[in-house]
Structure 1
Amino acid sequence: MPPVGSPTRTPPAWRVSPPHRTHSWDECYAGASSRFRHRPSGPPQAAGEPESDVALIKTYPGIEPALLTAVVDAGARGIVLEGTGQGNVPVGLFTAIGELTEWDVPVVVASRCRTSTAPLEAMPLGTGLAIKTGVIGARGLPPVKARIALMVAVGTGGGVQAARA
């Protein structure tokens, strides 16, 4: 007898799924509560072209703060810092982050770890210490996606305030 999955043997009945018919949006949500009756609006549309000059920097203990200002001097219009977990970055970067925020250069902290979507201000004491320097939390986005979100925010012509929105 040939093994299961060979072309000469038909698969067992439990492996064959019945044909499915497609359903319209109205059929799927006909009995749903009022908050699900309307089609989702989809992702927001960008107002302009995304800014490509946004740096993604992986932080580590002993990172030089001059690295952040050097990246901005080279033309970066925003920075995403890949933090060490729970919204934290090395303490040595706090002064540089504060200066960049004063210069209207948005600095976003994203975590290497899976985090909640809560803003940094709402996190327990001891987490998200960089928030006091004016940094913007990534709200649970991974660093690469946080960079894309910052590219769109800065591409609209805004700085720190556009990135916070």
Structure 2
Amino acid sequence: MSPRDEQPVLWADDPAPSPLLSDLHDLIDEPAEAPEEVAGVADPRFLRAELERRVLAAAGEVESAEWALDRTREEAAWGGAEIGVGLDVEPVDSELETARWSLDQAVCRLHAELHRAARHGLPVEDIARAASLEPGEVGAVLAAPERACENTGAAGAAGGLAAVV
């Protein structure tokens, strides 16, 4: 047996011993009982950046959904459509309902990301900055119980945007 066979050879394409970003996604999706468990698995700097990125992305989805709802309302107003009256306005009503539902879903996902970031130990001020919200607004979201977002329907997000954000 040659000495080469006894020693492990590391190639450039060998997996790195440190966690990859894809591993962090799996880690973040798991509920953490104690922050120490999270810190022991991955570098906290990367975890913090990933959590802030997710909050920022969710806040951007809310912004996009708000814009889409505003555009749908404007188009209905400029088109002279009577919203909610008669049989001819069904397409306008369905577009508005879809835009409202999208906004409610985006707000629900933002709330879930705010809860996730807080569960992993991010300070409220940092979460608020990432979400472009006031710390008091984030505190109100965190004080409310976390809800599941899937299959809530247009009216199922318990108040939608008016609830907190």
TM-score interval, normalised by the smaller of the two chains: under 0.3
Q: Structure 1-normalised TM-score?
A: 0.24
More helix by proportion, 1 or 2? 2
Q: Structure 2-normalised TM-score?
A: 0.24
More strand by proportion, 1 or 2? 1
